[in-house]
């Protein structure tokens, strides 16, 4: 289980951190937030949508068609598409609000982010190391992009062009799986906007985000294909695991090449 704590000299001066490049931590994430700045890349391979969190809408990449499932993570923790959302690339770090502080603080998941042979947090001068500073810079860009994207989404919502996305996915077993809680841009309502509202959205640079979200929806079929791949691999693993203990006493090997499913 993740255990995020603020990074500080008092706590981490003599500790080291590691970024493994694995995505086991994201295995149960059915969605991941993305900003408008990265939508041009994310929308090429992932369906993007809006979800309602508390009192606002958030732009996300859809990674699975049911809670607790991320179809973009392989059984051995690898990411299988060309683009990885920035918030996942920043792991084991993130920005978060901590108790009694108004500003965002850099926090780390100590459960998986600490390592005796990893990178130091601070240099001999007491300042963050260049490598740690790179993550801070990445997270700063993520936060700036989030704020800008939230403003755009608010404007799109106020313009009345965001609607519920009724969506059904065919599961690996061939059954119809309904996905609730997703929202999309309505192309029809977008085309019906009066000139004043349309120009306001254009000035906010909201139109590229609206159109990229619309285009990304064609990638929803990818989830069904990935679900089939996961199902096939699970069945293959079960079969090969059984063959590890054949009646004749011989052993077998598990050898699954996930590279064939990349991109």
pLDDT at 254 over 60: no
- Write down the pTM of the prediction: 0.84
- Residue-wise pLDDT tens digits, 15-74: 999 988 899 999 999 999 999 999 999 999 999 999 998 789 999 999 998 888 899 998
34 touches 85 (CB < 8 A): yes
Q: What are the boundaries of each domain within the chain?
A: 4-248
Q: What is the mean pLDDT of the chain?
A: 87
What's the distance, CA 241 to chain centroid?
Answer: 31
List of E strands, 8-90: 16-17, 31-33, 48-53, 56-62
Burial code (b: 16+ CB inside 10 Å, e: under 16) for 144-174 equals ebbebbbebbebbeebebbeebebebbbbee
Enter the tokens of residue 134.
């790179």
HSE value, Cβ hemisphere, 13 Å, CA-based, for 11: 11
What is the model's pLDDT at position 174?
63
Confidence category of residue 239, pLDDT binned at 50, 70, 90: low
Phi, then psi, of 75 in degrees rounded to 5: -55, -25
């Amino acid at each position: 289980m993740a255990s995020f704590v603020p990074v500080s000299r008092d706590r981490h001066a003599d500790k080291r951190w590691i970024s493994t490049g694995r995505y086991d931590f994201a295995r149960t994430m059915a969605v991941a937030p993305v900003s408008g700045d990265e939508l041009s890349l994310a929308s090429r391979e992932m369906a993007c949508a809006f979800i309602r969190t508390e009192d606002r809408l958030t732009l996300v990449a859809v990674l699975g068609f049911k809670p607790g499932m991320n179809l973009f993570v392989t059984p051995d923790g690898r990411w299988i598409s060309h683009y990885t959302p920035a918030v996942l690339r920043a792991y084991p770090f993130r920005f978060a609000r901590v108790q009694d502080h108004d500003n965002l603080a850099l926090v780390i998941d100590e459960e998986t982010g600490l390592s005796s042979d990893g990178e130091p947090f601070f240099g001999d001068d007491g300042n963050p190391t260049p490598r740690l500073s790179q993550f801070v810079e990445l997270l700063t860009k993520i936060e700036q992009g989030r704020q800008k994207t939230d403003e755009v989404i608010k404007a799109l919502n106020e313009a009345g062009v965001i609607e519920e996305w009724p969506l059904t996915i065919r599961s690996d077993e061939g059954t119809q799986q309904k996905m609730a809680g997703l929202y999309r841009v309505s192309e029809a309502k977008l085309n019906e906007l009066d000139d004043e509202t349309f120009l306001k959205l254009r000035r906010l640079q909201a139109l590229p985000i609206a159109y990229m979200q619309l285009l990304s929806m064609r990638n929803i079929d990818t989830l069904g294909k990935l679900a089939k791949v996961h199902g096939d691999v699970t069945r293959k693993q079960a079969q090969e695991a059984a063959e590890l203990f054949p009646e004749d006493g011989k052993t077998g090997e598990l050898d699954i090449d996930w590279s064939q499913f990349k991109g």
